[in-house]
Chain A
Amino acid sequence: MPAARTGGWWWGPNDAIEGVKVRWPDGKEEVFGGVAVDRYQKLVMGTGKAQ
């Protein structure tokens, strides 16, 4: 999954995932890139990129 590792959005033919955002308990909102479909990943606050 090289695209996920380089921080790009993971696009499918129908743009399966168009955006991922987390609102944390302190109220701050954070958009995450590098999201891959059909797998688990970790969203760590402050990193902006799925791991």
Chain B
Amino acid sequence: MDGLSLGFLRKSLTAGMVGLALVVAGCGSQRPEAKPVVVNNTPTKAIGSPVADNLPDGPLFEDKSETSGVRSVYDNGESVKPAHLSILESLGGGLAEIDFDGDGLMDLYFPGGGYFGGKDNRDILGRTGKLYRNLGGFRFEDVTEKAGLGTLAGGMPWFYSHATAVSDYDRDGWPDMLVTGWRRVALFHNESDGLGGRKFVDVTTIAGMDQGVTWATSAAFADFDGDGLADLYVCQYVDWSFAKHPDCNYDGKTPDVCPPKNFNGLRHLVYHNLGGGKFKEVGKEAGLPEGGDRGKGLGVVAVDVNGDSRPDVYVGNDTVDNYLFINRSTVGKIRLEETGVIAGVARDGNGSANGSMGVDAGDLDGSGMASIWVTNYENELHALYRNMSKKQEASFLFHTPGSGIAAIGQKYVGWGTGFVDIDHHGNEDLVVVNGHAIRFPTTTGRRQRPVLLRNNGGKFKVMTDRGGSYFAEDHLSRGMCIGDLDNDGAMDLVVANMNEPAGVLRNSACGKNGFHWVGFSLARPDRSDVTGARLEVVSGGKSRYRFAKGGGSYASSPDRRLVVGTERCD
């Protein structure tokens, strides 16, 4: 914890940054007089010690779905008659939170999914996704066509889509967007519409991303080789097609979607950003494993896990070992070393590979190191891997049993997820949205409730019943974003549901307990990618850490701003 002391504050002060600090009052009022800065060398208290579990009264989230104007419904095509029951229909989609027009409010983009047509309904077709402009006050308007997202380049129709990733890949100051899916990805450049607004232009072919994709799922941007340009990691799933479409069932009689074990995994993709709007796929040279009995990727997060500040990559794979790629790149040459088993994050505590979907990373215990969180299939525990790395050697401990998380049981099939300090109490809680992957589950429902877990100093407690009305209902959820839709510092939730409208949930917990917060965007003067950076905020003698991440959750790109609750009020 030596790095967590206030030593860096003293250093900054002696450097003359601050002689006397002006003093302001907490809870919104200002203290008029100046106060001498007092620096002490008392070691910072670890976050691992519990804080008061003082949840504010009332529901933590208010369901604004009906009034928000967000009408997105991900279509997985399952209404086709006769039913295909294809594994393609099981993945669903996510969403992106992206301030595409630069007005300071997070807008929302939802991939549309797809459907089946043509002979024997075996043509795999795409639905147009939806872009919603944030009007403020939890009101959104559909600007899909106006923003150029109604079709692909040349007026071509959309492909069957799943996921999004957001980055300013050309450093022009505007966020661009990738959409992934079946046999395709599409890269959209954010440009002026000539009328004072913004639009997206499909630059997939120009960028060199128009070939070589089999089945792309979650994706994450990060500058792996340190050249300042955001590169791209894209998960691929399995080698399913209608030419490889066996019959499956789980009760000996009822046809259903086949499990991933019936298919071979695919090698994932790494696109090196060459500059000038060009990318080159270098996954093989970068060291990514071939598919077969590996791969089957569904969730990805780029974050520094070994303390060298460079973005590493964690991948949740479905029923096979998860990946942890330690970044060994040099400028101009991307090299990712797969260390999942050695580092202890490939499997669960019993040594079994899980059906992993959603992923995130956060500081569990005040160590300043990013622990990893993974949502898994039913009859499995979600995985919390506590970061025990030392001297830049990645090492993790399967911490689910010791964290209290196992209390949620093993009935859920978890997808979108993330760490979030719901009420600014300082620790990051967890949210998981759920829904079964198959059509006719035998032991649990297909539609499932979301889950909220309260983090009280590294010990988690189920608090789903405090979530509000949305958390009291079953949903068929996939992607989810955590982000601040109204810039009040309270992190809201948006859920991408399959064959039902998206959920838009306003955080109504913050403010009730009066805790302060600070929110940050990290940037470099040349707009280089900052994934891998770490933020430390000292409050109340405790250091709290947040990480600049790429990807995360499932098939989604959350708000990248970092918010830290102070657990301090008066």
Binding site for B on A (CB under 8 A): 2-3, 6-27, 29, 31, 33, 35-48, 50
Known contacts A23-B536, A31-B9; decide if A43 and B566 are in contact (CB<8 Å). no
> Do B517 and A23 touch across chains, with their CB atoms under 8 A apart?
no
Known contacts A9-B18, A18-B9, A25-B531; decide if A35 and B518 are in contact (CB<8 Å). yes
CB contact between B520 and one of A3, A6, A13, A41 (< 8 Å): that residue:
A41
> Do B517 and A37 touch across chains, with their CB atoms under 8 A apart?
yes
B 503-522 to A, binary, CB cutoff 8 A, 1 in contact else 0 = 00000000000001111111
9 shortest A-B CB distances, which residue pairs? Answer: A3-B22, A12-B26, A40-B519, A19-B9, A31-B12, A19-B538, A25-B532, A9-B21, A18-B538
> Do B226 and A29 touch across chains, with their CB atoms under 8 A apart?
no
> Do A21 and B8 touch across chains, with their CB atoms under 8 A apart?
yes
- Name the B residues within 8 Å of A26 (CB-CB): 226, 309
CB contact between A42 and one of B304, B523, B535 (< 8 Å): that residue:
B523
Question: How many interface residues does chain B have, given as a range?
Answer: 35 or more
B568 on the interface (CB 8 Å rule)?
A: yes
Binding site for A on B (CB under 8 A): 6, 8-9, 11-12, 17-18, 20-26, 28, 31, 35, 37, 223, 226, 304, 308-311, 487, 489, 516-525, 529-541, 548, 561, 566, 568-570
> Do A8 and B22 touch across chains, with their CB atoms under 8 A apart?
yes
Q: How far is the CB of B428 from chain A (nearest CB, A)?
A: 17
> Do B521 and A11 touch across chains, with their CB atoms under 8 A apart?
no
Main secondary structure of the interface of A (DSSP, over half): loop
Known contacts A10-B21, A14-B540; decide if A27 and B309 are in contact (CB<8 Å). yes
Residue in A6, A24, A39 whose Cβ sees the most chain B Cβ within 10 Å: A24
Complex-state Cα separation, A46 to B522, whole angstroms? 11
CB contact between B536 and one of A20, A39, A48 (< 8 Å): that residue:
A20
> Do B566 and A37 touch across chains, with their CB atoms under 8 A apart?
yes
- Name the B residues within 8 Å of A39 (CB-CB): 489, 518-519
- Name the A residues within 8 Å of B521 (CB-CB): 40-43
CB contact between A19 and one of B304, B489, B522, B537 (< 8 Å): that residue:
B537
> Do A3 and B21 touch across chains, with their CB atoms under 8 A apart?
yes
CB contact between B309 and one of A19, A23, A43, A50 (< 8 Å): that residue:
A23
Q: How far is the CB of A6 from chain B (nearest CB, A)?
A: 7
For A42, give the chain B residue with the smallest CB separation. B521
> Do A17 and B537 touch across chains, with their CB atoms under 8 A apart?
yes
Q: How far is the CB of B35 from chain A (nearest CB, A)?
A: 6
CB contact between B311 and one of A20, A25, A36 (< 8 Å): that residue:
A25
Q: How far is the CB of B284 from chain A (nearest CB, A)?
A: 25
CB contact between A17 and one of B18, B487, B523, B566 (< 8 Å): that residue:
B566
For B309, give the chain A residue with the smallest CB separation. A27
